[in-house]
Amino acid sequence: MFTTTRSSRGMRHRRPRHSAVPFLAPLLIWAGAAGVLALWWSDTTAVVGPAGWLTGAGRITGLLAGYACAVLLALMARVPLLDHTIGTDRLARWHAFGGRCAISLALAHTLLVIWGYSLTSHTNVVSQTSTLVLHYPDLLKGTAGFLLFLATGVLSARAARRRMSYETWHYLHFATYLAVFLTFGHQLSNGADFVGNRSAQIAWYTLFLGVAALVAWYRFAVPLRRGLRHRLRVTAVHPEAPGVVSVHLTGEHLDELGGEPGQFLRWRFMSRGLWWTANPYSLSAPAHPSHLRITVKSAGGHSAALGRLTPGTRVWAEGPYGGFTANRRSAFKILLLAGGVGITPLRALFETLPGQVTLVYRARRTEDLALRAEIDAIAACRRATVHYVLDEPAAGSAHFTPQGLAALVPDLAAHDVYLCGPPGMTQSAIQALRDAGVPARRIHHESFAF
């Protein structure tokens, strides 16, 4: 079942801004990989025999593994240019894919080099492994770094992630920094392509020091500076629906944050049990120079504790992050598709997006429709269309089929779609939209899944 608030006039249409960064970034990454291969090619005169082929393959995979580590850190350094144009979740997917590649390359490098060296020295692989680890410079540290990197990769596998909290997974990932630090010296001390090659050494130092500077600045220095500058505090906590609360915050110079509707910040509440972790929550209203608001559903220990926050609690916020903004829009007609607490970023976009906007908001029961009064007021003010879809046995899921969405939203294929909701709903909605003729480039969504 659903109810509708309808009108025909949208806000003034403005041309969205587009960026070439999402297209140039992969090209730059692949160009760097080609440069790494060129380094091996220029430094290799000939490859002779099985030992030569194995050792050569080990050198190539080692160079690429080292380069992949630098790329992985750069992707998650939270550089605004990348984060706001490519999108946080897309960067996370690139990071996850790159992590699997880096671990595979590092493992291949280890096995190939040991095998190749054992053939050259006519020893078995166990003896050769012992010789390499104990007698080559920096290789003991490199081995420790490799094992730490491998352990981090195993713990990042989907099956392992399901058994740990977001906070535990987040802090375990800091081990990656230590792993890269431990293996860096080994690359320069033992890598045949770096020993005696001053230009290659300078290039490698420049790459890793540059990435380290990005990480130090955007992940540590900027959040610290903004925390001291903005001095955020909780002013009130209001219930919005069963298990859903809005947290209101105030601070200083908030106009400098630059948060756009659809973006999120990582919030660290300086309260008992919450201070040690920063969790991502979207702005549920457009940022104001004197106050901000997030709306959160109780889905775990951290989110449930937000309902018990007291006014005056100090807050540190990192961000804003994400590319789920008006800049992704390419059409005049916009569909906002929300499920549950996924209404949070879409409510802010509903108020501010130019064009002809339709909102479809799905919840299980009427009382679960958080922020409904605000949504109705916005719809009346801008004369937009709202459909409330209740997921009851008699009529719920039928509306999230290609036919159901097309019935709710005429000319569906001509719309840009902003989508936010639970993973299952998001996946089924994306498939329904594609089946209804909406091009993939016009379906926009971001996920906080880890």
Residues 376-399 have pLDDT tens digits of: 999 999 999 999 988 754 444 556
pLDDT given at position 269: 92
pLDDT given at position 357: 93
pLDDT given at position 154: 79
Per-residue pLDDT, averaged over 119-137, amounts to 87
Per-residue pLDDT, averaged over 289-312, amounts to 87
198-215 vs 175-190: helix crossing angle, rounded to 10: 170
pLDDT given at position 9: 43
Residues 393-429 have pLDDT tens digits of: 444 455 678 888 888 888 898 999 999 988 888 888 8
CATH 3.20.20.140 for domain 2-14+329-445? no
Mean pLDDT of the residues in the chain:
85
CATH 2.40.30.10 for domain 231-321? yes
Q: Where are the domains of the chain?
A: 2-14+329-445, 21-226, 231-321
Task: Please tell me the total number of residues recorded for the chain in this structure.
Answer: 450
Report yes or no on whether pTM surpasses 0.85: no
Nearest to 319 by CA among 245, 232, 219, 233: 219
Our CA angle for 335, 340, 342, nearest 5°, is 55
pLDDT given at position 131: 87
pLDDT given at position 152: 82
Three-class SS of the chain: CEEEECCCCCECCCCCCCCCHHHHHHHHHHHHHHHHHHHHHHCCCCCCHHHHHHHHHHHHHHHHHHHHHHHHHHHCCCCHHHHHHHCHHHHHHHHHHHHHHHHHHHHHHHHHHHHHHHHHHCCCHHHHHHHHHHHCCCHHHHHHHHHHHHHHHHHCCHHHHCCCCHHHHHHHCCHHHHHHHHHHHHHHHHCCCCCCCHHHHHHHHHHHHHHHHHHHHHHHHHHHHHHHHHCEEEEEEEEEECCEEEEEEECCCHHHCCCCCCCEEEEEECCCCCCCCCEEEEECCCCCCCEEEEEEECCCHHHHHHHHCCCCCEEEEEEEECCCCHHHCCCCEEEEEEEHHHHHHHHHHHHHCCEEEEEEEEECCHHHCCCHHHHHHHHHHHCCEEEEEECCCCCCHHHHCHHHHHHHCCCHHHCEEEEECCHHHHHHHHHHHHHCCCCHHHEEECCCCC
Q: Kindly tell me the sign of the dihedral angle through the C-alpha atoms of 152, 55, 59, 129.
A: positive
